[in-house]
């Protein structure tokens, strides 16, 4: 049952684009359906995406979508593939460090453009070709520097996790003048009121200093740590 659902998703994401068949020609396409879902999610969040709304946006009935997509989970998987898009081409002559930096920034941009990607990519799921292509880029950038295969994968997980964490935080602070500022303000008030219980956090937040450096800060720490490992491995040779 679980396996069948996984197979459905695999077939949808990796299978052939279409097959010539009998009967009326499909009026819709996976691409159009996914695009409609993305449009709704971009505007109102992933929670607002329902079969009804997606179908309505395309001027079809809800049930017609089930001719193309086995269920909502698969629709979301298609939306993710559509939204992440192709990974950026690796910049030339910047070394692995520059490549990973550029990669992380591009990924952060994707999350900023489609905040619901955070919600849509939690939990076990099947990766699509484009998502896997992003992973390929980062693993490839680390090839030939003395890291084992698992280590390269771990490094990719590390980078992805960081970008995700930053993206999640950016939804709080958000681009200037966002509606969730009150939420941050409420939390700030709470921290100040309980400063005795959380002195370190209160002090850290009271400290001045330009914000929005979180992505850069963590990225530099990670890359410094990776560089140290690469250097150690190079010495060992």
Using the rule CB under 8 A, give the single segment among 16-24, 25-33, 59-67, 119-127 that binds a copy of itself: 119-127
The four Cα atoms 168, 172, 177, 178 give a dihedral, to 10 degrees, of 70
Show contacts with DNA in window 174-203 (CB under 7 A): none
Among 129, 126, 132, 116, residue whose Cα is nearest residue 37? 116
The footprint of DNA on residues 14-43 (CB under 7 A) is 20-28
Q: How many residues bind DNA (CB under 7 A)?
A: 25
State how far the alpha carbon of 120 is from the alpha carbons of 83, 145, 166, 200, 230, in Å. Answer: 11, 33, 16, 34, 34
As measured in angstroms, the least distance from the Cβ of 179 to a copy of itself is 6
Radius of gyration of the chain (CA): 22
- 176 phi and psi angles, rounded to 5 deg: -35, 135
Q: Are 145 and 230 in contact (CB under 8 A)?
A: yes
When binding is defined by CB under 7 A, the residue of 12, 35, 38, 49 that contacts DNA is 49
Binding-site residue total for a copy of itself (CB under 8 A)? Answer: 78
52 binds DNA (CB under 7 A): yes
Spatial distance between the Cα atoms of 195 and 15, rounded to a whole number of angstroms: 56
Site for a copy of itself in 160-199 (CB under 8 A): 160-162, 164-166, 168-169, 171-172, 179-180, 182-183, 186-187, 190-191, 194, 197-199
Which are the contacts of 56, defined by CB distance < 8 A and separation ≥ 6? none
Nearer to DNA, 42 or 151 (CB): 42
Which of 1, 2, 63, 176: binder of DNA (CB under 7 A)?
63
Q: Footprint of DNA on this chain (CB under 7 A)? A: 20-28, 49-53, 60-64, 66-68, 71-73
């Amino acid at each position: 049952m679980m396996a069948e659902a996984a197979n459905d998703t695999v077939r949808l994401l990796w299978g052939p684009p279409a097959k010539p068949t009998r009967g009326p020609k499909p009026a819709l396409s996976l691409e159009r359906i996914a695009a409609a879902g993305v449009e709704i999610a971009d505007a109102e969040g992933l929670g607002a995406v329902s079969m009804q709304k997606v179908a309505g946006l395309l001027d079809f009935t809800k049930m017609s979508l089930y001719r193309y997509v086995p269920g909502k989970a698969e629709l979301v998987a298609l939306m993710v593939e559509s939204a992440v898009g192709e990974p950026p081409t690796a910049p030339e002559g910047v070394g692995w460090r520059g490549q990973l930096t550029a990669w992380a920034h591009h990924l952060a941009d994707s999350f900023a453009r489609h905040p619901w990607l955070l919600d849509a990519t939690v939990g076990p799921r099947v990766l699509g070709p484009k998502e896997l292509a992003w992973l390929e880029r980062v693993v490839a950038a680390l090839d030939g520097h003395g890291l084992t295969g698992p280590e390269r994968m771990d490094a990719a997980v590390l980078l992805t996790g960081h970008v995700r964490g930053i993206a999640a935080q950016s939804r709080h602070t958000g681009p200037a003048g966002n509606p969730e500022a009150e939420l941050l303000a409420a939390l700030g008030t709470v921290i100040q009121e309980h400063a005795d219980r959380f002195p370190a956090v209160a002090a850290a937040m009271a400290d001045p200093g330009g914000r929005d450096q979180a992505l850069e800060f963590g990225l530099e720490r990670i890359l410094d740590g990776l560089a140290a490992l690469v250097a150690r491995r190079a010495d060992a040779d």
